[in-house]
Structure 1
Amino acid sequence: MSITADQLALFIGTLSVAILSPGPGVIAVSQSAFALGRRRALPYGWGLAVGASVWCIFALLGLTVIFRALPWTYVALKILGGAYLVWIAFKMWRHAADPLPDPAESSRGMGFFGGMMLNLSNPKPALFYSAVLLSIFPVLLSAGDKLAIYATAISVELAFYTALASLMALPWLRRRYYAAKFWIDRAAGLAIGLLGLSLILRH
């Protein structure tokens, strides 16, 4: 493999920071755990994890082919991906003090397929994964590299949503989570913003 353990560790850290900030999937899994317990919330969380990881596959399969055929797309995607990360960071920072809204739908009936479709309905993770992959790993990746990256991504996603569904079923932790939302968003926004700037400015 051409990728290093340090690169994989950075990938794990970046992905963890990105999914830590509350979003629709996090809110839905949290509310499901609050209302129905860990057992009912876990399948939905696993579906969200698999749905997000599918976008990682698309990013991995498409990058090498496109860059070989059209080298200029590498620079363009770096700039677009970096700008997108900076935009995400700005939104995280700006809305850090906003309260968490209630999910639009009831927690009933949430299952693996529903969670997967929620993340597949939003193509933005594809751009996010592309930007992160570009900023951390070499341009040309072997099949083994891609398999290692995907295995890392799905492991992080599954671990996060499993932990979220398990921990958010505890009422005392729910209160602490809401209380820490401001600092979670600010820290995540700063880290992702720096990554986006480095992607734009790095030669």
Structure 2
Amino acid sequence: MTLSPEQLVSFLFAAVLITASPGPDNLMVLGVGISKGRKQGVAFGLGCALGCISHTILASLGISALIAASPMAFTALKLSGGLYLIYLGVNALRSSGNTQISGNALPDQSLKTLFAKGLFANSINPKVVLFFLSFLPQFVIAEHGAVQWQTAQLGLVFTLQAAILFGLLGYFSGSAGSWLNRNPRTGLWLDRIAGSIFIGLGTKLIITR
């Protein structure tokens, strides 16, 4: 089955806000774009985004296997995921919101190399794996069936929106980075929004049976 419109809209709204909030990936994309150029920023950003595909595969297999093995285990995953999201939210709310962008990101490298570096860095990041295992299950409606396919679709939607946002960040990195450096409180408000979303989603995971 395909995702329902309600599933897609709610997931996409949360995913975009979370992806847009200041973090290591998008700040690195800005840094590469500012120091090396638009094409380099786009290449690195697309690599980071497409690295999410590996996490999508792991999440799809893991979540569907848990449901098949034990609904109780799936509930435990949702509860632990909820606590993890709340933890991320609290950290985001406590963040100083510092978004100063450094122009010294990486030495001169080819577009292919930068793409591969972004892809590899994201693919092996255990924090991203944990995030996917925590974030995706709350948008899966087990009663609708095809849990593995639902999870895969959610992961691909996340990857697609990340590729668009990171690509735009890389392309407009010069102006975007300068604007963020001139308006450091923007990062603070983005962190506050993302933190509130994390806490809300985590609480939902915990209280929803």
TM over 0.5: yes
- Answer whether contact 1:3 1:138 (CA < 8 A) is retained: no
Comparing 89-98 with 154-163, which one deviates more in the overlay? 89-98
What is the CA-CA distance between 1:100 and the residue it aligns to? Answer: 4.2
Aligned twin of 2:200: 194
What is the RMSD computed on CA atoms of the aligned residues? 2.3
Q: 1:8 to 1:42 in 2, by over 3 A?
A: same
Amino acid at match of 2:51: G
Q: What CA distance in whole angstroms lies between the structure 1 residues aligned with 2:47 and 2:193?
A: 27
Aligned twin of 1:27: 27
Aligned twin of 1:54: 54
Q: What CA distance in whole angstroms lies between the structure 2 residues aligned with 1:154 and 1:99?
A: 23
Aligned twin of 2:153: 148
1:131 equivalent in alignment to 2:134: yes
Within 5 Å, which residues of 2 pair with 1:115-126?
A: 115-126=118-129
Could you report, residue by residue, the CA deviation over 1:105-127 in whole angstroms, capped at 9, with x for unpaired residues? 53533611100111122122222
Amino acid at match of 2:127: K
Aligned twin of 1:88: 88
The secondary structure found in structure 1 opposite 2:60 is helix
Q: Where in structure 2 are there 5+ consecutive unaligned residues?
A: none
What is the CA-CA distance between 1:177 and the residue it aligns to? Answer: 5.7
The secondary structure found in structure 2 opposite 1:88 is helix
- Answer whether contact 1:168 1:174 (CA < 8 A) is retained: no
Q: 1:14 to 1:176 in 2, by over 3 A?
A: farther
Q: What CA distance in whole angstroms lies between the structure 2 residues aligned with 1:101 and 1:152?
A: 28
Amino acid at match of 1:6: E
Aligned twin of 1:182: 188
Could you report, residue by residue, the CA deviation over 1:12-60 in whole angstroms, capped at 9, with x for unpaired residues? 1111122222122112111111112211111111110011232122101
The secondary structure found in structure 1 opposite 2:146 is coil
**TM-score, L = length of structure 2:** 0.86
Aligned twin of 2:168: 163
In the TM superposition, structure 1's runs of 4+ consecutive aligned residues that sit over 6 Å from their partners are none
Within 5 Å, which residues of 2 pair with 1:36-115?
A: 36-98=36-98, 100=100, 102=102, 106-109=106-109, 111-115=114-118
The secondary structure found in structure 2 opposite 1:111 is helix
Q: What CA distance in whole angstroms lies between the structure 1 residues aligned with 2:156 and 2:123?
A: 18
Could you report, residue by residue, the CA deviation over 1:146-180 in whole angstroms, capped at 9, with x for unpaired residues? 55334312211111111111222226534356341
Identity of aligned residues (%): 24
Q: Where in structure 1 are there 5+ consecutive unaligned residues?
A: none
Q: What CA distance in whole angstroms lies between the structure 2 residues aligned with 1:176 and 1:4?
A: 41
Count matched residues: 203
- Answer whether contact 2:29 2:170 (CA < 8 A) is retained: yes
